[in-house]
Structure 1
Amino acid sequence: MKRRTWISLASGVLALAAAPAFAQGFPNKPVKLQVPFAPGGTTDIIARVMSEPLGKALGQPVVIENKAGGGGVIGALETVRSAPDGYSLGMATVSTTAANPAINTKIPYNPTTDFTPIINIAATPNLIAVHPSFPAKDYKTFLEVLKKNPGRYSYSSSGTGGIGHLQMELYKSLSGTFVTHIPYRGAGPALNDTVAGQVPMIFDNIPSALPFIKDGRLIAIVVAAPQRLKELPNVPTFKEVGLEPVNRMAYYGILGPKGLPKEVVDKVHGATRKALEDPAVRKRIEDTGSIIVGNTPEQFTQQIKAEYEVYKKVVDSAKLKLD
């Protein structure tokens, strides 16, 4: 055997032997959790609620890093390109793993093959909310106003190709209305401008929008949820108003790049489940209007695949295109 071939084979054997040892020592330094949106949105809220208890369970700090842009694509792509060692994880959303890839064929990653799903932390309802100056305070009047004024109003979302964009476009196609899309670099900036009255309405997730609704700075019109929410008992679901295809909730989970060792996946999954056992953590998440999930890596993998297929069909059947 040639010396070069022998060295190559030996290096490969050593690398294989070292992999389990590396995973067993994980983590021995801080873990980054990438939020692919600006601060203030639901993804950021859930990540920050989890960071301290998750770090405690792992035995190392979990550091939140926000990287906004492209409807979540820029931050998600950074996770895809990270080393598969567990020290660079990302928050998974419907926008980054289903809606955006379904409508944007130029996204440089495959949501079903380029990630290692670890756990879905929580599911959250979505909603349409309007600024108090909007000439409608309930769904019936809201629809009448839009139909009488096609193109007059606009809506904000967390970004082009995100769940808020795609679900609102689906709503428009099914309801026969036209509202102009104003994309932002995350739900936080979109909310700020809607609350300030610069944009009359928003399609957003409940956790980030609910505080403004409770304060009377936004008015909830219709929600995407299995049933009416206890926090908003007078607000109908999309199913109730005859638009069941729009009635889909968002998810917020943790994933890593492709090839993440099983031992690392198991440790992060176990630490997340342990953090979710804390009543205080559960309460903070549930108080946002979210539902705790905490499923297995296998279940989350299937959920991402199923959600991507759903939105791909939505895009194809409704012939939706990017602005």
Structure 2
Amino acid sequence: MQRRHLLAAAAAVPLALAAGTGWAQQAYPAKPVRVIVPFAPGGTTDIIARVVADRIAAHFGQPMIVENRGGGGGIIGAAEIAKANPDGYTLGVATVSTTASNPAINPKTPYNPVTDFTSIINIAATPNVIAVHPSFPAKDYKGFVEELKRNPGKYSYASSGTGGIGHLQMELYKSLSGTFVTHIPYRGAGPALNDTVAGQVPIIFDNLPSALPFIKDGRLIPIVVAAPQRLEVLPNVPTFKEVGLEPVNRMAYYGFHGPKGLPQEVVNKVYEATKKTLEDPDVRKRIEGTGSLIVANTPDEFAAQTRAEFEVYKKVVEQQKLKLE
């Protein structure tokens, strides 16, 4: 009897070990992954994150759940990403605002954009646009500048938040164009757009994807864009380079990153799944339809891009002597 019990126990050991090993080595991702968007719903960061998250499960094996953490020009959400457990189950969207412009101007940023994140993939690059409410006296760039110079301090502009790309690029524009408008920061592009479209603020500096639907509907008038060349969707709108302000002619980026120390397995899996998702014609159409350009670069390339952009904005802050309001 004892012998039979011993044999049964011995037979069970390999099964138990196999089950234990399988549990310990369960492939990533074994559950849904949270993706933090560091801005309020409705802005470009939110739009692009949700387009990818909606389709990635087929390549990833698990859904991505988008959560918005707006505030501080993106700093609040980005800080949450930086402090997350590096197990791959909390990722986030990296933007120029959170990894370059905001840290460059804000000495109290609670993270280092170069060392506190693991870059994974830059999803897309997007043009930026200055647009005005239809009630604004000017409807083109020449008239816009003339109106601002005739009435310094009369007008205000909305941005997605203090220290964000909209804030810093508009401040750079002001310094180079010799104009002055008052900054009105919001907790994301969505709220900023709402107030501009409603006529509460006459001017907005925004990413094109979130502003474009309102431009197409005639509820915002585009004045000038930051893009490599004139855009097919806005053929009559000049670029900043065309109007003699090339330093302002910088595009935004939106990519996945996570806290520092992400395992290579996690980086590889998210990168490959995102890259395959971006090959989907419908996904490409939805992103490119916003005026954005698909990038899909490698983790190393995205990390280098982030470092370079941060250095650019540090120089802008120093040269233009920009400070937080």
Query: Per the shorter chain, which TM-score range?
Result: over 0.9
Cα offset for 1:176? 0.4
Q: 1:54 to 1:23 in 2, by over 3 A?
A: farther
Q: 1:146 to 1:54 in 2, by over 3 A?
A: same
> What secondary structure does 2:56 align onto?
helix
Please report the TM-score for the alignment, with normalisation by the length of structure 2. 0.92
User: Residues 93-113 of structure 1, C-alpha deviation per residue, up to 9 Å, x if partnerless?
Assistant: 000000000000100100000
Cα offset for 1:231? 0.3
- CA distance, structure 2, for counterparts of residue 298 and residue 155 of structure 1: 36
What residue number does 2:5 align with?
none
8 Å Cα contact 1:24/1:263 also seen in 2:
no
Cα offset for 1:22? 6.3
* Equivalence map 1:34-183=2 (5 Å): 34-183=36-185
Task: Give the aligned residue type for 2:194.
Answer: N
- CA distance, structure 1, for counterparts of residue 90 and residue 281 of structure 2: 27
Structure 2: gaps (5+ residues)? 1-19
What residue number does 2:228 align with?
226
- Runs of 4+ displaced beyond 4 Å: 21-24
- CA distance, structure 1, for counterparts of residue 310 and residue 37 of structure 2: 20
Structure 1: gaps (5+ residues)? 1-17
Q: Does 1:33 align with 2:40?
A: no
8 Å Cα contact 1:23/1:263 also seen in 2:
no
Cα offset for 1:119? 0.1
User: Residues 201-232 of structure 1, C-alpha deviation per residue, up to 9 Å, x if partnerless?
Assistant: 10000000000000000000000000000000
- CA distance, structure 2, for counterparts of residue 22 and residue 256 of structure 1: 22
Cα offset for 1:25? 1.1
- CA distance, structure 2, for counterparts of residue 75 and residue 107 of structure 1: 12
Cα offset for 1:55? 2.3
Task: Give the aligned residue type for 2:244.
Answer: G
Task: Give the aligned residue type for 2:211.
Answer: A
8 Å Cα contact 1:130/1:218 also seen in 2:
yes
Cα offset for 1:130? 0.1
8 Å Cα contact 1:32/1:87 also seen in 2:
yes
8 Å Cα contact 1:23/1:264 also seen in 2:
no
- CA distance, structure 2, for counterparts of residue 230 and residue 72 of structure 1: 30
What residue number does 2:15 align with?
none
Task: Give the aligned residue type for 2:261.
Answer: G
What residue number does 1:239 align with?
241
- CA distance, structure 2, for counterparts of residue 90 and residue 60 of structure 1: 16
- CA distance, structure 2, for counterparts of residue 24 and residue 232 of structure 1: 49
> What secondary structure does 1:315 align onto?
helix
What residue number does 1:316 align with?
318
- CA distance, structure 1, for counterparts of residue 178 and residue 26 of structure 2: 56
Task: Give the aligned residue type for 1:95.
Answer: S
Q: 1:35 to 1:23 in 2, by over 3 A?
A: farther
Q: 1:22 to 1:56 in 2, by over 3 A?
A: farther
- CA distance, structure 1, for counterparts of residue 258 and residue 55 of structure 2: 19
- CA distance, structure 1, for counterparts of residue 24 and residue 102 of structure 2: 34
- CA distance, structure 2, for counterparts of residue 172 and residue 178 of structure 1: 6
Cα offset for 1:23? 7.4
Task: Give the aligned residue type for 2:199.
Answer: G
Cα offset for 1:56? 2.3
Cα offset for 1:242? 0.3
Task: Give the aligned residue type for 1:32.
Answer: R
Task: Give the aligned residue type for 1:224.
Answer: A
> What secondary structure does 2:86 align onto?
coil
Q: Does 1:192 align with 2:194?
A: yes
Cα offset for 1:70? 0.3
User: Residues 250-304 of structure 1, C-alpha deviation per residue, up to 9 Å, x if partnerless?
Assistant: 0000000000001110000000001011000000000000000000000000000
Task: Give the aligned residue type for 1:144.
Answer: E
Instruction: Select the structure of larger CA radius of gyration.
Output: 2
